[in-house]
Structure formats: C-alpha cells, structure tokens
Amino acid sequence: MKKKLTKKIAVITLGATLIFSSFGFKSDFFEIAKQIEIFTTLFKEINMNYVEETNPAALMDTAIKAMLADLDPYTNYWNEQDVEAARINNSGEYSGIGATVQVIEDALLIMEPYKGYPADKAGLKAGDKIIEIEGIKVADYTDDVGELLNGSPDSQINIKFRRQGEIKSTDLNRSAINLKAVPFYELLDEKTGYIVLSRFNAKASSETIRALKDLKNQGAEEIILDLRGNPGGLLTEAINVSNIFLPKGELITTTKSVIEKYNRAYQTQKEPVDTQIPLVVLVNGRSASASEIVAGAIQDLDRGVVVGARSFGKGLVQRPKELAYGTQLKITISRYYTPSGRCIQSLNYAERDEEGKAIKRTADDYNEFKTRKGRSVFDGGGISPDVKLETSEYSNITNALLAENTIFDFATEYYYKNELSDPESFEFTDADFNSFKNFLKTSNFNYQTATEADLEELLTTASQEGYEQDILDHYKSISTTIDEQKKEELDNKKHEIVSLLTDEIIKRYFYKEGLYEYYIDHNPEILEAKSILNDTQRYSQILQ
C-alpha cells in the first residue's frame, strides 16, 4: 500500500517539482509560484487526511527522486549522509571497516576488503554477505545501511555475515581509512615507470607527482599512466594531473552550458614536472569524467599515446547546491569538451527512445576534430584510444556479466574451490572458461539482446491484434537461433571476459597490490604500452 502511494505521489508531483532545477533562469515566476502553491497544498492535504498514517519525509524523498530521474543519472538529491559520503570520497579519508560494499536484496555484499584494514584483519572476504550489524538486520534497515559500518576510530562493531551458505560472526575495531589515489607504482624494467591512478580525490596530483619523481630517481625514462577503471572525481585534480606533463597556461577542458556563467575554460596553473618524458595513458570503458579530461588533453595536445578502449563518456558537469537542513542538490550544469572541441558526453538524456532510454550516437554521426599536430580525432562520447586493444573492450554481453555480478560470483566460487600460492603461476585455462560457461547455466544470468526485446514487443502486438498463434512458431524458431548465437558470443568475446575473470580471481588471493604485480608481466595493455614506448619510431609515428 505504501509503495503504491509513494508512486502516485511521485507522478502527481513530478510536473510541479520539475521547476526547481531551473528556478530563476528559465521559468515564468508566476508559473513557478503557482506550481509551488499547488504542490504545497496537495502535500499538506495528503499528510493530514489520508486514510493511513503517512511518512512526509519518505513521500517527499520519492517525489524528488522521481523528478530527478527524468533528467540525467548524475543530477541527484543528497541527504546529510550523502553529503558526508561525498566529502569522504573527495578527501579519501574516513573511519570504518576498510572495504567496498554493495547493497543487494537482504545484505551488504563485500566487493573488496582493503589489505591490512579492519575487515581484512577480521577475516572478511570478497563475496561475504553482511546480514546483521550490531544487532540490526540489514534487510530491515530502510536508510543507508552502509553508514552503520562507519564510526569513530577504535570503536568496536559486531557483524554477522553469510559465507557459502554458512552464517558467521565477527567483532572488529573500526580504524581511520586512507584511500590512496595512487595505490601502486613501480619501475617495470630499467627505464619504464608504471603509475596507477585509481581516483581523482584531493590527493591525486600530489601522489602522482611523488610517484613520478621517485620513478625518475630510480631511472625511469618513460611513463605508463594507468587510468583504467578510474571513475573520476575532482575537476581541479584533473587539471593538476594534466599539468604534471603539460606546460603552464595550456587549455585542458572547457565547459559549455545554456547558462552563460557556467561557460568556462580551464587551463593549467603551475609549472610542470616533465613535458618531455614519453608517455602512454591507459583507458577502458570504466575510465570516466576526470580520467577522460586527462586522456583527452594528452591526446589532443599530442603529449602522449592513449592505449586501450573507448572510455565511458561521462562528460556532464555537476555542481553541489546547498539546500535546507544540510542537504544538497548535485545538479548537472554543463558539458565537458576537450582542447580540440570534442564533447566527452556519450548519451544524450534530452533525447530518448520509445523505452525512455537516452540516445547514443552512432559512428555515422561522429564529427572529426584535429589535434595540435593535425591528427584526426572524433567525438561521439568518451576518448577513443590511438591504439585499440580487444582485451580492453566491453561488449554488450560483457557489460551484462559485470552488471549482474556474474564474473564476481564465479571468482568467489573459484576462490573456495582452488588454491593459489603464486600469482605468477596462475593461468585461466580453457577448462576454467568451460566451467564459467557451466556456471552461467546454473546461475540466474539473463542477457537479453536488442533483437529479443524487439521480438517480445512484436509478439505482444501480434497478440493484441489476434495473430499470436500464427507467428508463435516462427518466434520460437528465431528465439532458438538467438540462444545459439548468444552461446557463440561468449566464445567470440572470450578474450575480454577472461581478462576480467583473471583480474577478479587474482584479487581474491593477493589483493589489488598482487593484481598490479601480476599486470607487470601479463597484462596485454601494459605489454603493448611498453612495446610502444620502447619503439621510438612507432611512438613518434602515432603522434604525427
């Protein structure tokens, strides 16, 4: 009953609340006042007269979220807990158990325990499902249950969790958590330095500078900067990281909006560390936002070679706006553009298809731009690398496997069935891949192609028009053919799936640090980057 009520309230209030996103800029003030008054009186009457007890805060939260869902996924309402979480993310410091978690149906799924922090010391593993925190059942907690894991340093917390069907309990002491922007760097050979930049928090540029200087002192004459999987963060840090390799005064990105005051150009403000050292930047489909700003600037200014796969395409700029009672509105105000003029944003949320999904441009609609040296680069969202590798790409089926945690779940099963003492000896074999395919058959993995969605719609329409029986046999035949092709697609995309499975399995045994060590001699992108850097002629030709 409550869920139906909140959905109705959301629909009723959507039109009235939409005006807040453009208050003072685009709307008629009389119309704004009118709609606010309608909403206020409606909200009051429901809370005063509805047949059952209502929760005003829950109703308002539903109305706000329904309004923002009609815009883009990055324009969000933040309550006090969300504001604090954003502060922690940007600073990289907080007090808790030291693990990334994901909310699932009735539990908190541990995605990764950080080495040496409380969760790790207490023996918690990736794949464990926290079901109770200090006597509070996760399934019964309506607010942000993840906040229960945080608290003051040295405070004790009891956790009950489910592992491989067995219920376990543990006590641990929270501690200060320091999330490094650069979790790993190393001299790969006599002259190749490797730096992993995993997030653009307030420490991103300072930690990158420290790593670069240390590597140069060790003899590094060329650098690989790994931005794969980096979701972005602070714009200022994206400028500062670019500034490490680019001169003072260089244009890094511009922001454009229909609102004049948000049209800005961002340039480097400091003296660089090294503008000459050969540079390769690694990106993939999970490199987003600030990562794309850095990669785009390096590419457009011909400062280095970009290797991997097209980046995510998150080019919408958000700014927090203070609201009442410590809450905020994180609102999209503009779009990012690279120095050559390319828009980073991939999806157009202003234009949607029949299912309400944002439209993505096709290659036929891409526009050509020129780098400083006259190389052709194209828009279309994200940064397309100079050297593309299949192992960096994420096809539709791979994205579906990631979205449903299927690769993660298989790694969990693998961990409890196999021993691994040395990452150097690990190889994901053909037999392992067949085990993975069998695992998919027994799991709830469901990958629907666009063709299947269209066929379902066709069958529904045929049923409404009385033709269902006539086409049902054809539908079944086509569905069988598609199922066979989907099985083939798993094999066709084996290279990218195996790469992700290998990463997840190595992390289970040896943490992120062990994975980076494994990368040095086994990762295709790093090996390709080294090959490019060690071939001066090839490096120069790519940038000409």
Report CA dihedral (67, 73, 74, 79) to the nearest 10 degrees: 50
Catalytic residue among 300, 379, 386, 409: 300
pLDDT exceeds cutoff 60 at 382: yes
Report, as an integer, the average pLDDT of 406-424.
94
**Better pLDDT: 30 or 519:** 519
pLDDT exceeds cutoff 70 at 17: no
Residue 16: per-residue pLDDT: 41
Two domains, one topology: 93-178 and 184-388 = no
pLDDT exceeds cutoff 50 at 290: yes
Q: Which of 254-258, 259-263, 465-469 has the lowest mean pLDDT?
A: 465-469
Catalytic residue among 289, 291, 334, 346: 289
pLDDT exceeds cutoff 50 at 5: no
450-460 burial, b if ≥16 CB within 10 A, otherwise e?
Answer: eeeeebeeebe
How far apart are alpha carbons 241 and 303 in whole angstroms? 13
Type of residue found at 267: Q
Q: Could you tell me the fold of the domain covering 184-388? A: 2-enoyl-CoA Hydratase; Chain A, domain 1 (3.90.226)
Report, as an integer, the average pLDDT of 427-436.
95
How far apart are alpha carbons 256 and 17 in whole angstroms? 25
Is-catalytic flag, 476?
A: no
- Angle at Cα 384 formed by Cα 380 and Cα 385, nearest 5°? 175
**Better pLDDT: 503 or 425:** 503
Locate the domains of the chain by residue range.
Answer: 2-70, 93-178, 184-388, 396-445+493-522, 450-491
In DSSP terms, which residues pair with 102 in a beta bridge?
Answer: 109
In DSSP terms, which residues pair with 108 in a beta bridge?
Answer: 103, 130
Mean pLDDT for the chain overall? 88
pLDDT exceeds cutoff 80 at 153: yes
How far apart are alpha carbons 84 and 94 in whole angstroms? 10
Most confident of 83-92, 332-341, 417-426: 332-341
pLDDT exceeds cutoff 90 at 482: no
Catalytic residue among 125, 129, 160, 314: 314
How far apart are alpha carbons 300 and 156 in whole angstroms? 51
How far apart are alpha carbons 74 and 331 in whole angstroms? 7
pLDDT exceeds cutoff 50 at 13: no
Alpha helices in 290-405 (DSSP H): 290-300, 396-403
pLDDT exceeds cutoff 80 at 325: yes
Residue 480: pLDDT band with limits 50, 70, 90: confident
- 220: burial class by Cβ within 10 Å (0-12, 13-18, 19+)? buried
Q: Which two tokens stand for residue 299?
A: 């590419």
Residue 4: pLDDT band with limits 50, 70, 90: very low
Is-catalytic flag, 530?
A: no
Residue 469: per-residue pLDDT: 62
Q: What is the CATH number of domain 93-178?
A: 2.30.42.10
Q: Which of 11-15, 131-135, 146-150, 452-456 has the lowest mean pLDDT?
A: 11-15
The position carrying tokens 């500034």 is: 243
How far apart are alpha carbons 314 and 347 in whole angstroms? 8
How far apart are alpha carbons 295 and 306 in whole angstroms? 7
Is-catalytic flag, 257?
A: no
